[in-house]
Every structure is written in structure tokens, then in C-alpha cells.
Amino acid sequence: MTAGGTRPLTLSGLPAPLELRESARARRMTLRLDAARGLIQVVVPAGLDEAEAIRFVGRHAGWIRARLAALPPARPFVNGARIPVLGTDHVIRHDSAWRGPGCRHQGEIRVGGQPEHLARRVRDLLTAEARRLLAERSRIMAEALETRVRGITVRDTRSRWGSCSATGSLSFSWRLILTPEPVLSYVVAHEVAHLREMNHSPRFWALVARLIPDAAPSRAWLRRHGAELLRFGQSPGPAPTRFRPEG
């Protein structure tokens, strides 16, 4: 297998299938529980023997089971499900006779089309609304700091809620639309402040405070509820997490 390639592994007694990924940049073995595909990914340094990877997983099987048992439940996008949008619960309503794009109105997210496309349509609607709101907030906050945003992307990021590139482009998770509005605003403020200070120095936090005078509650909210956010739109199964035990 070439570096960067993947292949399945077989190990009985675990609650999810395994995938081995060899990485030229990896310096040690790591495990990742991948919710999107419902498997455990084993990342290993290039050239490592597969038997050693299997022994590594076996040594940490108890950790895997314990983490799975402690995870928040999956929150799939299905008809009748309740999901938060900017801090307010909304009910998903599917109407096959509905024509046109989905909409959010008076506590409902209404979508049409075939039932099997419901989850995608809900996610598309939420992503579009997140993109609009995040772009608007970013522009306003950048003007307040006398800087500008070069571009905005919205994706399903798993390790960060937002990021800022050296070129001045910002990237955000669409799942921020599922947070209370002050939390979304805090993440925008954090990334916009990086347009001026690409660090976490006192100067950086002073810029954040100019935009969001009291960011501590929003930071605490994300730490407390981050795992739950990753479960929205997912079928029952493990949510993504990462750890780096000694091999």
C-alpha cells in the first residue's frame, strides 16, 4: 500500500469496522472514530507492519467502547425531528407536494421532494443560511477592526469551528447555525481578529473583546456542547474524536 492509501482491517469484538490509513507524515499510530462512514480509522506511519496496527487497536479496545458509550445520541434529519437554529427549536416538516426550495418559517423547516432526499435538503438549507449569516457578520466585524475579509467558505469541518488563512480568507463550519446566536458571533469575532493578529496573544484577545465584550460564556458553550453539534444530521453511530496514545 502506498503512503496515504487505505484498506479495511478485520478485528473481532469491536463495535465498528476498521480502516487502515498509512501516512508519510505520521510519527505515531492514532485512532479516529469516523461518524460519517461509521468506522474506526487507524492512522499509521509509512511502512508499519499491519499486525502491529491490529495489536495497537486491541490494546485500546476498552477505550473505544467507553468513548462510544459516552457519546451524545445521533440527531438525524428526519420528518418531525426537532433541531435548534440560532438557539430556537425548529421542527422538520416534509411535504412531498411542496414546490421550490426549502424554507425556515415560524419554528418549522419545511422541505419538499422525495423522502430519501429530506436530510440533504435540510442540510443544504441550513448551510445556505449559515453562509449568508457568517459572511454578513464577518464583513461587519472586519470593518469594525478596519480590515477586510478576502473570502468565506462554509464546510462540514470536524476539528475547528472556524479558521483564518494567511491570505485573509475565513472558513467556518455550517453547524454554527445550530448554536445560539452569541456563540456564532463569538466564532466570527475570533476568526476576524486573526485577520489582524495571527496568534493568541494579549493583542489578539483585546481585538476579540472589542467585537464581543464577554466571550467567555460562548467559549464555554462550545466546549460543553461541541460533541452534540457533530451528531446533528448523523445516523446512529460513533461521532468523530481523536486521541494519541503511546504506541
All structural domains of the chain with their residue ranges? 6-73+236-243, 121-229
| 104-109 contacts, C-beta under 8 A, 24 or more apart | 104/129, 109/83, 109/85
Q: Residue type at 234?
A: Q
Evaluate whether 222 touches 161 at the Cβ level (below 8 Å): yes
Residue 7 confidence (pLDDT): 64
Evaluate whether 111 touches 92 at the Cβ level (below 8 Å): yes
Query: 2-11, 22-31, 49-58, 194-203: lowest mean pLDDT where?
Result: 2-11
Position 186 pLDDT exceeds 80: yes
Residue 240 confidence (pLDDT): 45
**Gap between the Cα atoms of 146 and 149, Å rounded:** 10
Residue 50 confidence (pLDDT): 80
Position 150 pLDDT exceeds 50: yes
Q: Residue type at 187?
A: V
Record the cell numbers describing residue 143, joined without a space.
Answer: 470593518
Residue 131 confidence (pLDDT): 98
Residue 245 confidence (pLDDT): 34
172 confidence band (pLDDT: 50, 70, 90): very high
Work out the mean pLDDT of the chain and round it to a whole number: 86
Residue 7 DSSP SS3 = strand
The CA distances from residue 131 to 9, 112, 172, 184, 219, in Å, are 38, 22, 8, 12, 21
How many other C-beta atoms are found inside a 10 Å radius of the C-beta of residue 222? Answer: 16
Residue 76 DSSP SS3 = coil
Residue 37 confidence (pLDDT): 57
Residue 197 confidence (pLDDT): 97
Residues contacting residue 185 through CB under 8 Å, at least 6 positions apart: 137, 212, 218
Residue 214 confidence (pLDDT): 94
53 confidence band (pLDDT: 50, 70, 90): confident
Q: Residue type at 179?
A: T
236 confidence band (pLDDT: 50, 70, 90): low
Sign of CA dihedral 240, 137, 88, 223: positive
The Cα angle at residue 92 between residues 124 and 241, in degrees rounded to 5: 60
Percent over 90 (pLDDT), the chain: 57
- When the candidates are 3.90.550.10, 3.30.2010.10, 3.40.50.450, 3.30.1130.10, the CATH number that belongs to 121-229 is 3.30.2010.10
Residues contacting residue 203 through CB under 8 Å, at least 6 positions apart: 197
Mean pLDDT of 34-42: 65
Residue 247 confidence (pLDDT): 31
